[in-house]
């Protein structure tokens, strides 16, 4: 499994590219990083990879270049068919669902049967050191706990790749550290490519894959 | 003459009566009338009247302009969607103990609403005989102006326009209008879905039933008495037989009816039905003039005559401007006012005055009015049938909905 | 202070309702009824067609509300769904709100009359096809309006209520992070509509729950729409009640009062049923969400609704258009597609009539909605600061004017006002309007108010800003949209009041609506066109202000 970006950029309706085209290959189990100052278009790049360009967040933008997942060109594939998970700065746990149901929402539909699904969710909670939290309201969880649930929810959907948009920037230093470890363990266990976006050079220094600095287009 | 048409005393007797009344009362009337006029000066009369007809509204505005110029009395029409709103108003005031300074000065009223207000003693009067212009009315006990739905007017309300039940037909579709209820049945069978009547809870719907009842019942004089279970059963049996026969041939097979006569006339205009109803002989002419009815709309009346009644105005017992309202009521009875009202370009409603009481000049004013192809003349209308006692309409409504409401 | 305010709203409500209640149990001294009796109820249940009336009311109320809610939810999903920005439906999006507002602002009766003309056998739709296609020289004897099942009434209710629920939803959605949550769900493989249903709807519905209940209550108690579009032998319970109240036999006031109380109880029971059903749906939904199915099996329903959406919207707009045409028509007979002769007569006639009526309407609308808004904010703020279950309890009384047919309630109110020596002044009418405006303002505001993220206030507090500053600059500024919308709804409610203006004003305070309704009883479509459009104009401006002012202000502040 690998994620490959070839000359990837986003262009406005007036055919102006937002940033210099990006080229990178992320192998399975690798965590790559894209750096750049705020406002350069990091989130837009993630949206382009995830297939969310032109939807609510970044209306009116079009993708240029290509995205390959496991050697398949998915540049224009429907977002729901891509199997690329995404994590935002905010954990965005659904407030109308309990912690467990948030995970069940993410859990892939191929897992069938009430018992089976419940067991998998409980197991995920255990991995996140949140056993017994199934019926808790997500709002009552601490920031670190919420982030862990969000990550587990994304992973339960069995993505082929994972995108992270400044995932830990709201956590304090120590928590960020634990969370990073947790992320690495979990993604390596699943052996998928991960692309992380940050403005923080310290964050970039921790990854084991390629690091690309996004340049505003001239 | 059938027993249920208007009885009028022979002319000489009537003259004698009015001369007598006049000579006895004129002195007295004159003095107090001047008082009333003085008292009325500067008042604004709130006339509560159904506001669904633009021409009537315009006529009321005109009345206000005239009374303001002549007597310094202004008229403000409170437009109602139903006369019951004004009755409820007065009932509420009575309930709250407000026995003076009421909000309603004058109501356009007749029939059941009048009966209700009379029974609950919510009306001012008797005052009709105090009006100088009452001399133009035929106020003998059984005259049309003295009886409102078999209820004695008792001087509590003043007539102002004549209402006659008429049918309106689209003459392009209806070449031979059915002139009796029996013919109506044959016509409906031949033209299924082209006839309807307003809902029975509506005034016009009840009137249609009453018209049919008078024509079909074995002895119409019974209808002038309060209905008893026996008399009701006997008198209405032929009506229900007739209605059962005609119902399947009505518009929407008699499962649905227009809400009121205005909507029924709109359906005539839309071509959904061919026959509509009105309580105004000028309805077709007025409808054509205001673009509401097709040019081919014509009025027809059952050959044996149709129901007639008179629209009145009454003054509530607690009115704020009783004097002003009295002055306006009197103005409505002026021959000039009545002639203006009868003008097809104004209202086209027939005068309520007794033609024999008018002098040559006044008679001429009526004769000189413009005519219209769609406007029947008085002889065209045939005899006026008297309204049955109010209990008949109440029971007709109940019985109808018992038989035909799902 | 709040106690005084409470009294202002509460006292007339209790008095008004009390009178009706007495009359339902046989006590109406003005008509000589002094003794307690159940006769009125007996009379009511014995009336022919009572059961049919009841069934009609319930079916049309529930079905119309359900369809309107589903359409509003699907419609909101569509607003947030943009596969290609160049597609036709996306190009239409900027025009959505401007198109919804006129239908929202137009009086119910106007929409009903326009719609009736649109779909009647002699109406515009069939005129467009006749005689070239259908061969009809005369309209067919079909029941496309006032059908016995109440379908056209349901359609009319949906047409009128959809824009309200849709706009309320769009305003409420501003408080939810919709696009990110949708992105997230889609990245997990959920289709747009499934994601909408499983993620957004459960968060949105609690925010629009009260407006939905308002729609349910309205649908159950409407008189003017039922009169024009509903069956009439027998009619819906609300219309039947109205007929008994208006009957020439004043003694029918007793069973009429019983019917009014009965209708009130039925409405309360319906609200309970709706809420319980809501809980059941929520329960079923949780199971559905837990199943993790990415494409739910309601595609057929969703596509039916998506197809119904433009039809419903179009029907509303065409109803208004057809009224506009009627307002300048003179003769327009079947099967002509357009009038055969035209006239500006009615508009010209109005020039002499409407300035005073318009002025009255404006004064009353601005006063009552302004006061309603201030009261609602005061009420909610006091509750936020001091809690108080008592206020929550009294709130239910405040909704009484919405639960009982107006005509029933107003008779008692009138008597109450008269006893206080208040009659016919503009101030009294404004007070009466306030009784109806306030609950609507409250209903449209309360959910957004409670959903406000308290952290903003905590942040402001920690930054040391004073209570009043926090209240003005944070709370009210953040709630600007819902506040303005509530105000605009208040304006629309006030403008549309017919019976309160007529009865409490003793007919002396003439407004656009008193003029319009009395004239409309004559069923002249041209007049209804003129007044309906005029009546729609004022609320339309208010809604436009409420929807577009925040946008303009944000633009200004962020530049």
At B224-277, the pLDDT tens digits run: 899 999 999 999 999 999 999 999 999 999 999 998 888 899 999 999 999 999
Residue in C with minimal Cα distance to B253:
C141
Spatial contact of A90 and C116, defined as CB atoms under 8 Å apart: no
Residue B41: which residues within 8 A CB-CB, separation 6 or more? B71, B72, B73
pLDDT of A160 over the 50 cut: yes
A188: which 2 tokens?
A: 């390596």
| C111-136 per-position pLDDT tens digit | 998 999 999 998 999 998 888 888 88
Pick from C249, C415, C519: CB nearest B112: C249
Domains, chain B: 11-163+308-371 (3.40.190.10), 166-307+385-404 (3.40.190.10)
pLDDT tens by residue, C523-548 = 678 888 888 888 888 888 898 888 88
Residue intervals in chain C for CATH 1.10.3720.10: 345-559
CA angle (B15 as vertex; B12, B20 as ends), nearest 5: 125
Q: Does residue C262 have a pLDDT over 50?
A: yes
Query: What pLDDT, on a 0 to 100 scale, did the predictor assign at position C319?
Result: 94
CB-CB neighbours of B296 under 10 Å: 14
| Amino acid B206: pLDDT | 92
Does the beta-carbon distance from C183 to A55 stay under 8 Å?
yes
DSSP H helices, C188-331, are 192-195, 201-221, 224-229, 237-245, 253-291, 299-327
| Distance to chain C for B142, nearest Cα, Å | 24
Count CB neighbours of C259 within 10 A: 30
Q: Which residues of C touch B62 (CB under 8 A)?
A: none
B255 to chain C, minimum CA–CA distance in Å?
7
Task: With a cut of 50, say whether residue B57 has pLDDT above it.
Answer: yes
Q: Do C186 and A97 touch (CB under 8 A)?
A: no
Q: Do B and C share at least 3 CB pairs under 8 Å?
A: yes
Q: Which of C343, C342, C341, C339 is nearest to C127 (CA)?
A: C339
pLDDT at residue B108 in the model: 95
- Interface touch C203/A94, C-beta < 8 Å: yes
Pick the residue from chain C with its C-alpha nearest to B391.
C249
Assigned token pair, C297: 């099996």
Task: Point out the residue among C233, C506, C514 whose CB comes nearest to the CB of B256.
Answer: C233
Is the model's pLDDT at A175 over the cut of 90? no
Is B51 within 8 Å of C415 when comparing Cβ atoms? no
Tell me what pLDDT residue C557 has. Answer: 64
Contact C49 B48 (CB under 8 A): no
Tell me if C361 sits within 8 A of C495, measured CB to CB: yes
Residues of C in Cβ contact (< 8 Å) with B207: none
Question: What is the C-alpha to C-alpha distance for residues A57 and B134, in angstroms, rounded to an integer?
Answer: 82
Residue in chain B closest to C16 (alpha carbons) equals B92
CATH 3.40.50.300 is held by the domain C345-559: no
Q: What is the DSSP string of C467-520?
A: HHHIIIIIIIHHTHHHHHHHHHHHHHHHHH--HHHHHHTTT-S--HHHHHHHHH
User: Shortest CB distance from C289 goes to which of A101, A108, A159?
Assistant: A101
Q: B357 vs B20, B309, B326, CA distance in Å? A: 14, 20, 21
Task: Find which of A24-33, C375-384, C438-447 is predicted with most confidence, using mean pLDDT.
Answer: A24-33
Read off the pLDDT band of B322 (50, 70, 90). very high
- Measured in angstroms, the CA of A132 and the nearest CA of chain C are apart by 17
* Contact: B256, C250; criterion CB under 8 Å: no
Number of C-beta neighbours around residue C453 at 10 A? 10
Looking at residues C263-289, what average pLDDT do you find? 93
Q: Which pLDDT belongs to residue C82?
A: 61
Distances (CA, A) of A123 to A120, A127, A132, A144, A156: 5, 6, 11, 18, 11
Considering only residues C233 and B24, tell me which one the structure prediction assigns the higher pLDDT.
C233
Mean pLDDT of B64-84: 92
Chain Cα centroid distance, residue A134: 23
pLDDT at B1 over 60: no
Structure tokens at B356: 């024999």
Higher pLDDT among residues C59 and C508, named by residue: C59
Chains A/C: 3 or more C-beta pairs closer than 8 A?
Answer: yes
Per CB-CB distance under 8 Å, the chain B contacts of C506 are 46, 89, 103-104
Domains in chain A, ordered, with CATH?
A: 2-213 (3.40.50.300)
List Cβ neighbours of B174 (8 Å cut-off, separation of 6 or more). Answer: B187, B274, B275
Cβ A104–C202 below 8 Å, yes or no?
Answer: no
CA–CA–CA angle C77, C78, C82 (5° rounding):
115
Residue B12: band (very low, low, confident or very high) from pLDDT cuts 50, 70, 90: very low
Residue C86 — pLDDT band, cuts 50, 70, 90?
low
Q: How far away is chain A from the Cα of C166, in angstroms, using its nearest Cα?
A: 19
> Mean pLDDT across the stretch C347-355?
78
Q: Which chain C residue has the Cα nearest residue A108?
A: C292
Cis peptide before C495 (omega within 30 of 0): no
* Cβ-based contacts of A61 with chain C (< 8 Å): none
Q: Using one digit for the tens of pLDDT, what is the confidence trace for C181-229?
A: 998 999 999 988 889 999 999 999 998 888 899 899 999 988 878 988 9
Q: What is the pLDDT of residue A54?
A: 59
Specify whether the CB–CB gap between B153 and B387 falls below 8 A.
no
Residue B48 pLDDT more than 50?
Answer: yes
Q: Is C221 helix (H, G, I), strand (E, B) or coil?
A: helix
CA proximity to B376, closest of B349, B340, B345: B349
Q: Which CATH architecture has domain C63-233+299-343?
A: Orthogonal Bundle (1.10)
Position C520 confidence tier, pLDDT thresholds 50, 70, 90: low
C contact set with A (CB within 8 A): 80, 82-85, 177-192, 198-199, 202-203, 286, 289-294
- Return the half-sphere exposure (C-beta side, CA atoms, 13 A cut-off) of residue A94: 32
* Cα torsion angle, C132, C138, C142, C145, sign: positive
**Cα torsion for B21, B23, B24, B29, to the nearest 10°?**
90
Average pLDDT over residues A197-206: 84
Residue A56 to residue C190, Cβ atoms within 8 A: no
Q: DSSP letter string over C164-194?
A: HHHHHHHHHHTTS-HHHHHHHHHHTT--HHH
Tell me how far apart the alpha carbons of residues C134 and B320 are, in angstroms, rounded to a whole number: 60
Average pLDDT value for chain B:
87
Write the DSSP string, C56-93.
HHHHHHHHHHHHHHHHHHHHHHHHT--S-TTSHHHHHG
Q: Which of C177, C186, C292 sits opposite A107 (nearest CB)?
A: C292
Give me chain C's average pLDDT, please.
Answer: 85
User: Which residues on adjacent β-strands are paired with residue B314?
Assistant: B107, B157
For residue C540, the distance in angstroms to the closest alpha carbon of chain B comes to: 26
pLDDT at B10 over 50: no
Interface test with C, best of A10, A14, A43, A55 (most C CBs within 10 A): A55
């Amino acid at each position: 499994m690998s994620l490959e970006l070839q000359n990837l950029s986003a262009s406005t309706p007036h055919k102006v590219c937002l940033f210099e085209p990006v080229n990178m290959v992320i192998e399975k189990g690798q965590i790559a990083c894209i750096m750049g100052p705020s406002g350069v278009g990091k989130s837009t790049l993630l949206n382009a990879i995830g297939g969310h360009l032109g939807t609510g967040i970044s209306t009116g933008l079009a993708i240029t270049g290509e995205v390959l997942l496991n050697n398949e060109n998915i540049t224009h594939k429907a977002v729901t068919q891509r199997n690329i998970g995404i994590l935002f700065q905010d954990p965005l746990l659904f407030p109308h669902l309990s912690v467990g149901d948030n995970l069940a929402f993410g859990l892939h539909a191929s897992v069938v049967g009430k018992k089976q699904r419940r067991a998998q969710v409980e197991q995920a909670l255990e991995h996140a050191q949140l056993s017994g939290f199934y019926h808790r309201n997500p709002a009552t969880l601490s920031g670190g706990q919420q982030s862990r649930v969000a990550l587990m929810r994304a992973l339960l959907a069995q993505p082929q790749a994972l995108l992270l948009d400044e995932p830990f920037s709201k956590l304090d230093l120590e928590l960020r550290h634990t969370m990073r470890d947790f992320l690495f363990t979990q993604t390596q266990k699943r052996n998928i490519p991960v692309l992380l976006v940050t403005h923080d050079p310290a964050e970039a220094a921790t990854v084991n894959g390629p690091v690309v600095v996004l340049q505003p287009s001239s | 003459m059938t027993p249920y048409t208007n009885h009028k005393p022979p002319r000489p007797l009537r003259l004698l009566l009015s001369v007598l009344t006049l000579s006895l009362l004129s002195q007295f009337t004159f003095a107090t009338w001047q008082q009333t006029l003085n008292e009325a000066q500067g008042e604004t009369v709130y006339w509560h009247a159904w506001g669904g007809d633009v021409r009537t509204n315009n006529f009321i505005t005109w009345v206000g302009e005239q009374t303001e110029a002549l007597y310094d009395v202004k008229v403000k029409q409170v437009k109602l969607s139903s006369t019951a709103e004004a009755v409820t108003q007065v009932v509420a005031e009575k309930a709250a103990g407000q026995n003076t300074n009421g909000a309603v000065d004058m109501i356009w009223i007749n029939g059941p609403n009048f009966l209700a207000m009379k029974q609950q003693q919510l009306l001012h009067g008797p005052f009709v005989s105090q009006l100088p212009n009452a001399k133009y009315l035929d106020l003998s006990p059984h005259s049309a102006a003295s009886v409102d739905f078999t209820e004695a007017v008792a001087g509590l309300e003043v007539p102002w326009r004549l209402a006659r039940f008429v049918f309106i037909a689209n003459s392009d579709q209806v070449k031979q209008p059915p002139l009796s209820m029996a013919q109506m049945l044959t016509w409906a069978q031949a033209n299924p879905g082209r006839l309807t009547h307003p809902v029975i809870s509506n005034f016009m719907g009840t009137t249609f039933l009453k018209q049919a009842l008078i024509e079909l019942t074995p002895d119409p004089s019974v209808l002038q008495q309060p209905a008893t279970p026996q008399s009701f059963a006997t008198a209405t049996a032929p009506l229900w037989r007739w209605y059962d026969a005609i119902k399947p041939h009505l518009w929407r097979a008699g499962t649905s009816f227009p809400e009121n006569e205005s909507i029924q006339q709109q359906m005539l205009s839309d071509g959904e039905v061919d026959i509509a109803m009105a309580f105004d002989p000028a309805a077709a002419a007025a409808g054509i003039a205001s673009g509401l009815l097709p040019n081919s709309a014509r009025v027809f009346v059952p050959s044996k005559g149709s129901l007639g009644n008179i629209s009145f105005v009454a003054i509530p017992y607690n009115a704020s401007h009783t004097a002003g309202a009295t002055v306006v009521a009197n103005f409505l009875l002026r021959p000039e006012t009545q002639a203006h009202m009868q003008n097809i370009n104004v209202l086209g409603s027939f005068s309520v005055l007794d033609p024999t009481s008018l002098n040559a000049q006044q008679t001429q004013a009526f004769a000189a009015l413009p005519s219209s192809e769609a406007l029947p003349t008085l002889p065209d209308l045939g005899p006026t049938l008297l309204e049955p006692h109010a209990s008949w309409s109440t029971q007709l409504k109940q019985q109808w909905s018992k038989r035909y409401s799902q | 202070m709040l106690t005084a305010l409470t009294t202002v709203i509460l006292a007339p409500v209790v008095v008004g309702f009390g009178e009706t209640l007495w009359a339902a149990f046989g006590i109406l001294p003005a008509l000589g009824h002094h003794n307690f009796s159940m006769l009125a109820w007996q009379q009511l249940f014995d009336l022919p067609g009572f059961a049919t009336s009841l069934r009609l009311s319930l079916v049309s109320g529930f079905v119309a509300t359900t369809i309107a809610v589903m359409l509003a939810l699907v419609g909101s999903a569509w607003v947030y769904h943009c596969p290609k920005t160049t597609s036709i439906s996306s190009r239409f999006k900027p025009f959505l709100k401007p198109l919804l507002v006129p239908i929202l602002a137009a009086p119910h009766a106007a929409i009903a009359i326009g719609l009736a003309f649109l779909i009647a056998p002699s109406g515009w739709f069939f005129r467009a096809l006749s005689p070239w296609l259908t061969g009809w020289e005369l309209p067919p004897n079909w029941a496309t309006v006032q059908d016995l099942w109440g379908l056209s009434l349901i359609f009319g209710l949906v047409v009128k209520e959809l824009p309200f629920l849709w706009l309320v939803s769009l305003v409420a959605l501003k408080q939810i992070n919709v696009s990110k949550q949708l992105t997230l769900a889609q990245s997990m493989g959920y289709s747009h509509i499934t994601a909408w249903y499983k993620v957004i709807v459960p968060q949105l519905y609690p925010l629009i729950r009260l407006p939905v209940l308002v729609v349910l209550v309205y649908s159950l108690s409407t008189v003017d729409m039922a009169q024009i579009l509903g069956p009439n032998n027998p009619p819906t319970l609300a219309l039947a009640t109205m007929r008994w109240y208006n009957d020439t036999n004043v003694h029918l006031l007793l069973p009429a009062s019983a019917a009014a109380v009965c209708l009130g109880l039925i409405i309360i029971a319906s609200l309970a049923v709706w809420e319980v059903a809501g809980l059941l749906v929520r329960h079923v939904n949780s199971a559905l969400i837990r199943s993790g199915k990415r494409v739910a099996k309601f595609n057929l329903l969703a596509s039916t609704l998506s197809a119904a959406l433009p039809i419903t919207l179009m029907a509303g707009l065409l109803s208004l258009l057809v009224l506009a045409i009627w307002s300048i028509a003179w003769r327009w007979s079947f099967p002509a597609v357009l009038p055969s002769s035209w006239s500006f007569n009615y508009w010209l006639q109005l020039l002499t009539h409407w300035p005073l009526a318009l002025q009255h309407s404006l004064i009353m609308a601005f006063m009552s909605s302004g006061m309603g808004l201030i009261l609602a904010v005061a009420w909610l703020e006091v509750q936020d600061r001091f809690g108080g279950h008592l206020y929550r309890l009294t709130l239910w009384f405040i909704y009484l004017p919405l639960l009982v047919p107006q005509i029933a309630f107003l008779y008692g109110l009138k008597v109450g006002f008269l006893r206080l020596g208040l009659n016919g002044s503009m101030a009294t009418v404004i007070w009466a309007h306030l009784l109806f405006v306030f609950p609507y303002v409250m209903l449209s505001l309360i959910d957004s108010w409670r959903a406000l993220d308290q952290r903003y206030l905590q942040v402001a507090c920690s930054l040391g800003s004073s209570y009043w500053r926090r209240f003005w600059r944070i709370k009210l500024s953040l709630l600007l949209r819902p506040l303005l919308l509530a105000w605009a709804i208040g304006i629309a409610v006030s403008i549309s009041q017919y019976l309160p203006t007529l009865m409490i004003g003793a007919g002396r305070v003439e407004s656009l609506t008193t003029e319009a309704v009395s004239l409309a009883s004559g069923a002249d479509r041209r007049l209804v066109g003129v007044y309906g459009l005029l009546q729609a104009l004022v609320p339309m401006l208010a809604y436009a202000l409420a929807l577009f002012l925040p946008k303009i202000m944000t633009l200004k502040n962020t530049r």
